[in-house]
Amino acid sequence: MTGPTDPTATSQASPSGELPGGAAGSRPIVGVIAGSRSDFPILEKALAVLTELDIPAELRVVSAHRTPAWMTRYAESAEGRGLRVIIAGAGGAAHLPGMVAAQTLLPVIGVPIPLSQLDGLDSLLSIVQMPRGVPVATVAIGNAENAALLAARILALQDAGLMARLAAHRERQARMVLEDPSNIGAP
Ligand code: RP5
């Protein structure tokens, strides 16, 4: 058996060792889980957005196939630990988001991870084609940033400060387009 026995007992350290999101030591409200450590480079983009929006988050490896019991413990304990949204990224036969969604009532956002074979289409179809009754909100292949932004929109419904930070984020995005050198002098 691999994986921690108690999800509350493990740290929320990012690969850099820092607590991602929010003030150091604040309790994570978004759980970002990866089917493998090899998925981290993509899922770290979600953490970066969550950190920018000051949303406390954790990043862990939870494999549906290699550690099914750990996946169940993670899903079943998530709400009780204070998580409000789960972002789950997996590649290939990407069953992690769906199987977590089957074991928690928290919203689950799936990130299809592109692998070298099939370019992530396999991951996308594995995650998006959920049966009726067990929803997973699926973002574009590799688009972990959007998973974080969608999580933020869900959380912002009950957090006016976060809603304001999201509005500022959108404003910055728009400004980057409008201030692109190609738009100088445009009407
Ligand atoms: C999936 O298998 C993981 O999400 C990962 O994308 C893929 C390959 O995993 P590794 O063989 O790199 O550990 O479960």
pLDDT in tens, 58-99: 999 999 999 999 999 999 999 999 999 999 999 999 999 999
| Burial category of 94 from C-beta neighbours within 10 Å (exposed 0-12, middle 13-18, buried 19 and up) | buried
Cα 132 to chain centroid, rounded: 22
What is the DSSP code (8-state) at residue 182? G
Using a 6 Å cutoff on CB, does residue 114 contact ligand 1?
no
Residue 113 Cβ < 6 Å to ligand 1: yes
Q: Whose CA is closest to 73, among 100, 95, 91?
A: 100
Residue 92 beta carbon below 6 angstroms from any ligand 1 atom: yes
Higher pLDDT, 140 or 185: 140
Helix axes 144-156, 40-52, angle to 10 degrees: 30
173 Cβ inside 6 Å of ligand 1:
no
Span from the CA of 157 to the centroid of ligand 1 (angstroms):
33
* pLDDT tens for each residue of 11-69: 343 443 333 444 445 899 999 999 999 999 999 999 999 999 999 999 999 999 999 99
Record the tokens describing residue 126, joined without a space.
């594995």
pTM: 0.89
For 37, the 3-state DSSP assignment is helix
Two tokens at 101? 């969604």
123 Cα nearest atom in ligand 1 = 6
Helix axes 160-178, 144-156, angle to 10 degrees: 140
User: What's the CA-to-centroid distance between 162 and ligand 1, angstroms?
Assistant: 33
